[in-house]
Structure 1
Amino acid sequence: MKYKPPKLMTFPKDEPITVEVLTKFMEKHKLEVARYEYLKNMYRGIMSIYDEPTKDPWKPDNRLAVNFTKYIVDTFTGYFNGIPVKKSHSDKEILTKLQEFDNLNDMEDEESELAKMACIYGRAFELLYQDEETRTNVIYNTPENIFMVYDDTIKQEPLFAVRYGYDDDYKLYGEVYTKETTYALNGTMGFYNMTEQAPNPFDDLPVVEFYFNEERMSIFESVISLVNAFNKAISEKANDVDYFSDQYLVFMGAEIDEEDAKNIKDNRLINYYDKNQNNQSGSASKV
């Protein structure tokens, strides 16, 4: 797969956000999803070596994958976030509220997952929302079903975010988050409605993007070709070992039964004999 890190999506801050505008950005996002899927599979150990052409049944066909990508992500995340972030405040009441917020949202796990996702995909998102008891909650989200659009000014500040998906009937659903309002999406792609759902209870956009570099590149994206080459090399080396370890049984001077020789390639057997020879005695040796 040829890698093209995603470009920052921008839109004029004073223009209205319409269904046509959302459809355009969703189409752009869909082009990025294939890349996110590939990066996720690399982390899970589903490598390109498994997509190599299948060899003939009698040939060794090892498919070995060393998951360097997972090692890179887990090691970096461990060093970066192995010790949870410590928070302090001179006001005990505010510190108590911070601790309650952390406990409610299990922030240690939240921060760890955000760091891991940013390593894998190059970016990750955190969504803020109010629960039934009007408590502020946060939840991490992969970039596979959410994206953010920035304004086209020199500051490129967050303008709006879209989180969407499809149900079992392939109907579109989701939300559009702006600084003022949250809109609901319902319908099918290209034929959906955007209806006002609720005012934004926060002072800013309730979606935060996390990333390690401006290019939004995965932490292992620059070495993917090396990982794939390594997997191919050790797989072929294992094939070579299998080739040399294969031994053929050679029958010389005597014809063996057709039933015994019908799977010569699978049984690694070679038969040499002279049809005109009357003496049917023969010899066998391994080579």
Structure 2
Amino acid sequence: MAIDGKGSITDNDIFIFPKNQSLTADDLRGFIHYQINTLCENYKENISMYKGHYPILDKKPKPLNKPDNRIVINFAKYIVDVFNGYLFGIPPQITYDGDDKVNEDLQNFNNTNSITDKLNEVAKQTSIYGRSYLFCYYDEHGQMKSAISSPQNSFIVYDNTIAQTPLYFIRYIVDDSNHLTISVYDGTQQTTYNDSYQIISQTDHMIGSVPAIEFIENEERQGVFESVKTIMNGINNAVSQKANDVEAIADAYLYLSGGSIKKDDLQSMADNRVIINPEADSKAEFLTRPNGDGTQENLLDRLEKRLFTIAMVANLDNIDSGASSTASGYSIELRMQSMRGLASNKERKFTNALREFYKLWFDARDTVDFTLENKVKKIKQFLSGTAKDDPINHLQFKFSRNLPRNIADEANTAKTLEGIVSKETQLGVLSNVPDPKAEIQKIEEEANQKINNAIKNNPADYDFTTPSKISGEEDGK
């Protein structure tokens, strides 16, 4: 669909711009207007629901002091938090295979940038909005840093080729006076505009490419509860109406027929909770409307069941692991089959995005480490045909599902795999071993320590460290 300027937007809400054409003020204005007036409206609704503000709270009050309960059951927050707790409750392991020095630098970068915490927040935003961004920049010390950028005030523009390569990362802020300040990042520069879309400044951002990566929940850029918003609203309406009915029963009118009762007598009956009417044909009863309690309960049961079925997120309240503790983890996994598929799809999307993110880091690392010695080394490798392949191919990502685990069963499985698979794969079976590579290193260190202790404490006090003594050439022999 075309928007103002030369840009357009796809059915999956991706901004597109013609390749090899310059972005003008009119083009930028078209993107910003569509973002604010269309996409952000849905973003605001989703984040409001996640925070517990549903449309039922905005309805007009009922007239004549009728019961008007506004009960909110925050299923949006439940779905988002349960789903991402299942996928990211155990931080993913990100390692580099083949070079310990590179892996050490990678872990230092992840730790100093709190990447696992940022990924958890990005995952939550993608489940709410359908997308989120990690933005890269250099701090005052020349170190590459990353920050989360919300889709409520940022977006990426891609080219119109089949590859859909990022062209611009656009981020804007609105001050207290409702004035816009817009920052546009291309492959080399940051250009800042005011709310009249006039250029204020231009600087090099030094990243080497568009300095932001888009993380998505799915190809349609829909949040995890997007397809069940009407069901959640229906449940809130039904529960609130049920509360209204209960309140209406408590406030029901008392109907008295036959004879007459004085006002003082009515007050006395109310105080003593006794009804007395001397007339022979008198009658007293409460006026109540028909009770639809059974119908309401059936409706609520069906809505709640369909809610979790369509959202494909498990309702943990309905999971019964059974009496056997040894089978509990497997039993729960079976009941979470649909959520496992949903999580696997999100894992693939995040893996692709993480590869693009770390490509920026590798490029920055090569730039910093591009000394004359490394230049000569790379030229020699290129001329000899031994140039290293893309380091991105050596990245390993391991996402672990956050489920109850039976350590005894895992230990038996690991023991069974002895001699069949590599040590790293064998240790990877154990959920209490977060980093198999580091664990192997610890095992080797412990083995070396035992050998050293044995040599140090040998009864004969034989010197194993001197070659001449070991070979028998001792004391001039």
Normalised by the length of structure 2, the TM-score is 0.51
Give the whole-Å Cα distance in 2 for the aligned partners of 1:166 and 1:240. Answer: 45
Residue of structure 2 equivalent to 1:122: 130
Structure 1 letter corresponding to 2:170: V
> Which residue of 2 is the match for residue 63 of structure 1?
70
Instruction: Please give the alpha-carbon distance, in whole angstroms, between the structure 2 residues aligned to 1:195 and 1:49.
Output: 44
Q: State the distance in 2 between where 1:143 and 1:224 align.
A: 20
- Listed one character per residue, the Cα deviations across residues 57-84 of structure 1 (whole Å, up to 9, x for unaligned) are 5311111111111111001111111111
Counterparts of 2:152 and 2:58 in 1: how far apart (Å)?
23
Q: Is the 8 A contact 2:12 2:219 kept in 1?
A: no
1:36 to 1:5, Cα distance in 2 relative to 1, 3 A: farther
Distance apart, 1:246 and its partner CA: 2.2
Matched with 1:88 is: 95
In structure 2, the partner of 1:180 is: 188
Q: Secondary structure at the match of 1:237?
A: helix
Aligned residue for 1:228? 233
Q: Distance in 2 between the 1:88 and 1:215 partners?
A: 30
Bigger relative contact order, structure 1 or 2 (CA pairs below 8 A, ≥6 apart):
1
Shift of 1:249: 5.1
Q: Is the 8 A contact 2:169 2:185 kept in 1?
A: yes
- Decide which structure has greater strand share: 1
Aligned match of 1:238: 243
Mapped pair 1:167 → 2:212: no
The residue type paired with residue 27 of structure 2 is V
**Runs of at least 5 residues in structure 2 that lack an aligned partner in the other structure:** 1-9, 268-281, 287-477
Residue aligning to 2:32? 26
Cα distance in 2 for residues equivalent to 1:165 and 1:93: 40
Q: Distance in 2 between matches of 1:58 and 1:202?
A: 62
Superposition deviation, residue 91 in structure 1: 2.1
Residue 256 of structure 1: CA displacement?
Answer: 3.2
Between the two proteins, the alignment pairs up a number of residues equal to 259
**Percent of pairs with identical residues:** 37
Secondary structure at 1:192's aligned position in 2? coil
Matched residue of 2:133: which SS? strand
RMSD across aligned positions (CA): 2.4
Write the distance in 2 (CA, Å) between the matches of 1:166 and 1:217.
Answer: 25
Correspondences of 1:36-75 after superposition (within 5 Å): 36-75=43-82
243-252 vs 200-209, greater mean Cα deviation:
243-252
Q: Say which structure is richer in helix.
A: 2
Residues in 1 aligned to 2:64 and 2:142: alpha-carbon distance in whole angstroms: 63
After superposition, what is the alpha-carbon deviation per residue over 1:216-274, rounded to whole angstroms, capped at 9, x for unaligned?
A: 111100011111111111111111111122243567724538xx9xxxxxxxxxxxxxx
1:207 lines up with 2:251 in the alignment? no
Shift of 1:163: 0.2
5+ long unaligned stretches in structure 1: 261-282
Which range moves more in the overlay, 155-164 or 165-174? 165-174
- Runs of 4+ in structure 1 off by over 6 angstroms are 283-286
Between 1:85-94 and 1:72-81, the stretch displaced more is 85-94
* Aligned pairs for 1:4-15 within 5 A: 7-15=13-21
Question: Does 2:83 align with 1:76?
Answer: yes
Q: TM-score, normalised by structure 1?
A: 0.83
